[in-house]
Amino acid sequence: MAIVEMKHVDMLALQRDRQALLRALQKLRCFQIMPQQTDEGSFSPAGAEKDLPSVEETLTRIDWAIGKLHRYDTAKKPFLGDLPSIDEKQAEETLQKLPSALLTIRMLESLERRAGDLRGQSARIDAAREQLLPWLSLNVPLHEIHDTKTTVQMLGTVPKEALDAWLAQEKLSDLCYLREVSQQRDQACVYMILHRSCKDAVLQKLKAAGFAQVSLRDVYQTPAERVKALDKEQSEVDTQRAETNRQIEALAEHLDTLRKLYDLLTSKRDRLQAAKQLTESDKTFFLQGWIPAPMAQKAEEALKKVSPTVALEFYDPLEGEEPPVLLHNPKATAPFESIVSGFALPKSRSFDPTTIMMPFFVNFMGMMISDAGYGLMMALIIPILIFARKPAPGTKRLLWILTAAGVASLFWGAMYNSWFGFAPFPSVFDPVKNAMPVMMVCVALGAVHLFVGLGVAMYVNIRDGKWLDAVYDQLSWAMIIAGVGILLILGLSIGQWMSITGAAVVVFSAGRHKSKNPFKRLVSGLGALYGITGWISDLLSYMRLFGMGIATGVIGMVINILIGMVMQSGVFGIIIGSVVFVGGHLFNAAINTLGAYVHSCRLQYIEFFSKFYEDGGKPFRPLSETSRYVYVRDVQRGDT
């Protein structure tokens, strides 16, 4: 339940040890390098690393090649499996394959250019073929359809309705010969020949009818012969495309090497970029950054092994400085850090709510899933998947959250007596037949949640020495809400006086920072007292625990009723009903678990965090090795 304390660290070392020290920092994963702010006259900003542009270009090409070959990857992906790992020797062997990998990429680039040319040829053939299809019934080479000294011949299209109307009204036989060759949807494809003397008159009428001339004079065959030739050409292009795709697919055998090289070279790129942030002299270099305080001694020992002459100095952040934020919680609550960081990291001197939030988050999910059968299934199956499949860290954190939610759902489902939609045992609560007690439990748990939020805010103020702020801003509201609850639920008059006292504190203190004018402060206090409506809406928000919970149970019961009807039809119905039972309840569990997760997050972010949370923390981003496709096991290795 803590934000890790951060230390500034200054490092001075010899130039000859620079790459080795940067590799060591990268493996430690605990050193965030920051831009230099030094006044030492003997130091100057580091020059651009000469290898950096080449490495970035190579990475771009490798990433492109991986993207092109990925669709041909036939290797079986393990379900929920983590990334594979390699040792230092394998990493060195992989880096030695870089020249052959670049040759593979050049071959792939050439094949892709060839594939692009063939796609262009195929598109041109398709376009030419589509242009010729309407004229297949013409039995003359198309280049022979041209003007003579006394006649004009042309092909074209005209709207069918316009052509019919024109033919009905005009005596075209006196002006030209016109033949409808084919019809394409609402367009008529026509051949026409006319005397040159009436060309202008006919074309004017055709233009008014929507005529569009088609030019095919470069075709020295009949349309049927040319289409046949195009089909043969297309067949040859298809053969070449298939062979090109086969050659590209064959290159997919190098995918594993390309992926490893991508991670190894990305790590090298990161080191080169980090080197640009240091300052240097002829013989030494100087580096500044952030490091978690608990890691300071370990980091110093590790770096001393690499370079015995390295000098390190650790010191506290300056006043007003905001160090990066790293959350660290006990193993049981650490997975829930993703819930906090999914909203926003807290400020470095604020409060990490992960451990306090965890029991509420889990119970809220359990109340919304609210089926003991689903909870038992989650609590048993998910840990087995975690230990058997060893998923990636992010996936593992989510699965542990769902496991905890399954345990809570087992408890609350037993309280509601809901087991896969059945009710086989006596229930403590019955949300369907007697909803009021369940609603009261939801609101009561919500009230506890909100009071804990107030308590955290009080703790932060007291920790920072702001005792009066804790009384004015938190204790006053706690007295108001608690007093109202005591008065309404227990009927004790002390609740009335608690609320009045708390309200008086709010009225006379809420505007203390806004103005020195007593009247303005009083007006601000009265406005702040209106915030009691916000508390009411916050409490009502917890009714979603009841709504989501009853929805899960009712859907489960409906599934069971439908399955019971199906199973009455005999052996075949029993088989179908069993399949539907499994599928229906799996779907109900999945969709309601998703909804429970989202709504539980909402209750933390909107209702709980609003009482105390100070966001705005910058994440701690240490120099580390890239593990997009593969892990490199932590063993010292040579320069890459």
Residues 335, 457: Cα–Cα separation, whole Å: 23
Burial-class residue 69 by CB neighbours within 10 Å (0-12, 13-18, 19+). Answer: buried
Question: Would you state the structure tokens that stand for residue 615, as one six-digit string?
Answer: 């966001």
Between 22-36, 225-239, 518-532, the lowest mean confidence (pLDDT) is in 518-532
Residue 637 is predicted with a pLDDT of 40
**Nearest one of 348, 409, 353, 399 to 377, comparing CA atoms:** 409
pLDDT digits over 2-11, tens only? 889 999 999 9
pLDDT in tens, 134-143: 888 888 888 8
Quick: pLDDT tens for 545-586: 999 989 888 898 888 888 888 888 778 888 888 888 899 999
Write out the E strands in 255-322: 279-280, 284-292, 311-315
Confidence of residue 104 (pLDDT cuts 50, 70, 90): very high
The amino acid that residue 504 corresponds to is A
CA proximity to 288, closest of 327, 326, 323, 325: 323
Residue with the bigger pLDDT between 253 and 511: it is 253
Question: In this predicted model, what pLDDT tens digit does every residue of 288-305 receive, in sequence order?
Answer: 999 999 999 999 999 999
Residue 368 confidence class, pLDDT cut points 50, 70, 90: very high
Q: How far apart are CA 430 and CA 580, in angstroms?
A: 26
Q: Rounded CA gap, 398 and 126, in Å? A: 51
pLDDT for the residue numbered 356 = 93
Distance in angstroms (rounded) separating the CA atoms of residues 433 and 417: 12
Determine contact, residues 608/453, Cβ cutoff 8 Å. Answer: yes
Model pLDDT, residue 519: 65
SS3 156: strand
Of 332-336, 337-341, 362-366, 474-478, give the lowest mean pLDDT range: 474-478
- Report residue 517's pLDDT band, with 50, 70 and 90 as the boundaries: low
Average pLDDT over residues 508-522: 64
Q: Tokens 């036939």 map to which residue?
A: 74
Could you tell me if 403 and 379 are in contact, meaning their C-beta atoms sit under 8 angstroms apart?
Answer: yes
186 or 542, greater pLDDT: 542
Look at residue 170 in the predicted model and tell me its pLDDT.
58
CA quadruple 85, 89, 92, 94: dihedral, nearest 10: -50
Statement: residue 522 has pLDDT above 50: yes
Length of the chain in terms of residues written: 640
Q: What is the mean pLDDT of residues 587-606?
A: 93
Is residue 533 over pLDDT 80? no
pTM metric for this prediction: 0.79
pLDDT tens digits, 39-89? 555 555 555 567 788 899 999 999 999 999 988 887 777 776 777 888 888
Q: How many CA atoms within 13 Å lie on the side-chain side of 321?
A: 12
- Is residue 416 a contact partner of residue 548, using CB atoms and an 8 Å limit? no
Residues 6+ apart with CB under 8 A from 597: 365, 401, 402, 405
Percentage, residues of the chain above pLDDT 70: 91
State residue 237's pLDDT score.
93
pLDDT of residue 173: 56
**Cβ-Cβ contacts under 8 Å for 609 (sequence gap 6 or more):** 343, 353, 453
Distances (CA, A) of 563 to 540, 543, 559, 568: 36, 31, 6, 9
CA-angle at 24, arms to 20 and 27, nearest 5°: 140
Mean pLDDT score of the chain: 85
The predicted pLDDT at position 640 comes to 36
In the block, residue with structure tokens 């062997």:
93
Among candidates 623, 584, 498, which has minimal Cα distance to 34?
623
pLDDT for res 634: 61
Over residues 385-417, the pLDDT tens digits come to 998 888 888 889 999 999 999 999 999 999 998
Helix (H, G, I), strand (E, B) or coil at 95: helix
The band of 636, judged by pLDDT with boundaries at 50, 70 and 90, is: very low
Return contacts of 200-208, CB within 8 angstroms, 24+ apart.
201/175, 202/175, 202/176, 205/166, 205/170, 206/156, 206/158
For residue 622, name the pLDDT band (cuts at 50, 70, 90). Answer: very high
Higher pLDDT, residue 168 or 615: 615
pLDDT of amino acid 139: 86
Q: Contact at 8 Å (CB) between 286 and 280?
A: yes
DSSP assignment of 460-503 equals: HHHHTT-HHHIIIIIIHHHHHHHHHHIIIII--THHHHHHHHHH
pLDDT band at 221 (very low <50, low <70, confident <90, very high): confident
